[in-house]
Structure 1
């Protein structure tokens, strides 16, 4: 089985990465694509703790719903044309670290991801997720423009 991990965030580069992964996987018998969405954990936002744990639960519930909806939308958009098995995973934490940990733990053969999902300001402040994954991942990483 050929296992590909595709981190998605709703951006156009991420969708192009999904299309590229489908193209790669279509030629492989029993290929599987896992779409992963990483929400920032509420513990990374200090103002949540000032309001209280109920806000943490509310934010997590909203993130869960929106993240799962996005994953379903992507699968629905590409699956009619794909002869590939799709899986989905929603995690919380620091995106690059969660992506690499998940890829390593589940022994993915390849990570395919967009070159940027956040705006230029976010990249300057937070750093490029794709750049961090490129350096932290133990499996090959393909960056799609």
Structure 2
């Protein structure tokens, strides 16, 4: 039997933390499991304000985002790895969040995506759609949404 690969998109929110706990519950009973913590930063190109004020702010914003995103990933692994024998992988990507999650899952032949459901409210979901809803419809593997 091959390794069980689970991707957990994280953003520091409580729903994402609950999703990570659930992913670890699924992985814990498996002999060979890997949980990838995936943090996706929206590319600066998606922030019109950054492009209006110039590339130096883009670089500064990207450096801050890179540092903070990597620190969050490191903290999550440090907090959870002592309590489990599951192998962790950390990835920090840039781009359209739902698309990056699905592309990564497809590229790595992920078995399961476990993610939190963020309650945006009916109007926000109707106008914007939630990341979890987009992933649910775009992913080529099973998606577990944790409330």
Q: Give the TM-score of the pair, scaled to structure 1.
A: 0.94
Cα distance, 1:11–1:124 mapped onto 2, change above 3 Å: farther
1:10 and 2:12 aligned = yes
**Which whole-Å CA distance do the structure 1 matches of 2:44 and 2:128 have between them?**
16
Stretches (4+) displaced over 4 A:
118-125
Partner in structure 1 of residue 135 of structure 2 = 133
**Which whole-Å CA distance do the structure 2 matches of 1:24 and 1:54 have between them?**
44
Gaps of 5+ in 2: none
1:38 and 2:69 aligned = no
Q: Give the TM-score of the pair, scaled to structure 2.
A: 0.93
Gaps of 5+ in 1: none
Partner in structure 1 of residue 64 of structure 2 = 62
- Please give the residue correspondences for 1:1-145 in structure 2 after superposition, counting only pairs within 5 Å: 1-116=3-118, 119-120=120-121, 123=125, 125-145=127-147
**Which whole-Å CA distance do the structure 1 matches of 2:93 and 2:124 have between them?**
20
**Which whole-Å CA distance do the structure 2 matches of 1:122 and 1:76 have between them?**
34
1:74 CA displacement:
1.1
1:126 CA displacement:
3.0
SS in structure 1 at match of 2:82 = helix
**Which whole-Å CA distance do the structure 2 matches of 1:32 and 1:58 have between them?**
33
SS in structure 2 at match of 1:132 = helix
1:108 CA displacement:
0.3
Do the aligned partners of 2:120 and 2:130 also contact (CA within 8 Å) in 1?
A: no
Cα distance, 1:48–1:106 mapped onto 2, change above 3 Å: same
Over aligned residues, Cα RMSD in angstroms? 1.4
**Which whole-Å CA distance do the structure 2 matches of 1:50 and 1:17 have between them?**
37
SS in structure 2 at match of 1:89 = strand
**Which whole-Å CA distance do the structure 2 matches of 1:37 and 1:56 have between them?**
19
